Chain A
């Protein structure tokens, strides 16, 4: 299966909102409610921010939200803060005990 498609970069101003997309197919993103999003700062390991499309692990601010429409999932970060500047990765269950990831999106906070 091919990797999920994410825009290489995204940006938003402090306090504003930004949405990052993650596009797959009906065999992965569109077929299951198993999309996750990870935040990764340079030199650090990824951190789970969203799972099962919309759920937030304990400790993740509610400024982070997830959604899905057809074969595209989205991560929205509201009230952007400087510390939100990072790379964001999406993943999806791809059926047949397989998981696929996107290429990552670098978020810049202006």
Chain B
């Protein structure tokens, strides 16, 4: 079992960097049973995978976002974190921290409640 919770700012400015942290309850992330990942949903659009991280620090990113994304892990705090640079209004979305078994989120078993991030000019 995994419980995830998003932690980050609700409002960020255009061209700045979004930093979002995903604390994880349960040892299935540290033990390597699950990958951590971030998925977002812009208003009026479908879901979009941002990237995934293994407890070892190995990362996988959506090719369309790879140039702006960095996901890191802090095993001492049982959490992983997202940095998304050069923000624009199109990055406005509900961001979800999630847990999944395989290398990429082919099937996402656990979802955080989500947090709305608004990019303002």
> Chain A interface (Cβ within 8 Å of chain B)?
3, 6, 34, 36, 38, 44-48, 51-52, 57, 89, 91, 93, 96-104
Other-chain contact of B46, A36, A98, A104 (Cβ < 8 Å): A104
Nearest 6 A-B pairs (CB), nearest first? A51-B107, A45-B111, A103-B46, A101-B47, A34-B106, A36-B107
Q: Nearest chain B CB to A94's CB is how many angstroms away?
A: 9
Is B49 within 8 A of A99, CB to CB? yes
Alpha-carbon distance between A101 and B48 when the two chains are bound, in angstroms: 6
Given A51-B106, A93-B106, A98:B63 Cβ within 8 A: yes
Partner among A57, A89, A98 whose Cβ is within 8 Å of the Cβ of B62: A98
Give the chain B neighbours of A36 by CB distance below 8 A: 106-108
User: Could you say which residues of chain A place their CB within 8 Å of the CB of B114?
Assistant: 45
User: Contact at A45–B107, with CB atoms within 8 Å?
Assistant: no
* Identity of the chain B residue whose Cβ is nearest the Cβ of A104 in the assembled complex: B46
Most chain A CB neighbours (cut-off 10 Å) among B47, B62, B63, B105: B47
Could you tell me the distance between the alpha carbons of A65 and B106 in the complex, rounded to whole angstroms?
A: 17
